[in-house]
Amino acid sequence: MANLSTKIKLYANQEVDFTKDVKLQDNSDGKGVFIAEWNLPIAKPTDAQLDALEAQATAYEAEQLILAKRKAEYPNMADYLDGIVKGDTAQVQKYIDDCLAVKAKYPKENN
């Protein structure tokens, strides 16, 4: 199940500041997180509108996780630049190969 915050970002179609624009709350009563305060200049979404974004939000969160894993494992860009400056095509190619290996390890869902 996707996070409510992700569904809200998709609904609003913008970045949302969850300390000002929208405040979420969980009363620990088993009902889960809900919108406690809505300060965006668009109508507050209904539960049905947010539920309709479940699949899109789940896919978005999965892609963000893949991107975070890739970022953590990509080689240092300084190695690439060093290879360019030195004219070391083997070093540049190793950087490219290492990046492609990370992309293969963490493929995006739609690829």
The ranges assigned to domains in the chain are 1-63, 74-111
Give 72-83 pLDDT, tens digit per residue. Answer: 999 999 999 999
Alpha carbon of residue 91 to chain centroid: 31
CATH of domain 1-63: 3.30.56.60
Q: What is the pTM of this model?
A: 0.77
CA gap 7, 13 in Å, rounded: 10
Q: 70 near 102, Cβ under 8 Å? A: yes
Confidence of residue 109 (pLDDT cuts 50, 70, 90): confident
pLDDT tens digits, one per residue of 42-96: 999 999 999 999 999 999 999 999 999 999 999 999 999 999 999 999 999 999 9
- Calculate Rg over the CA atoms of the chain: 20
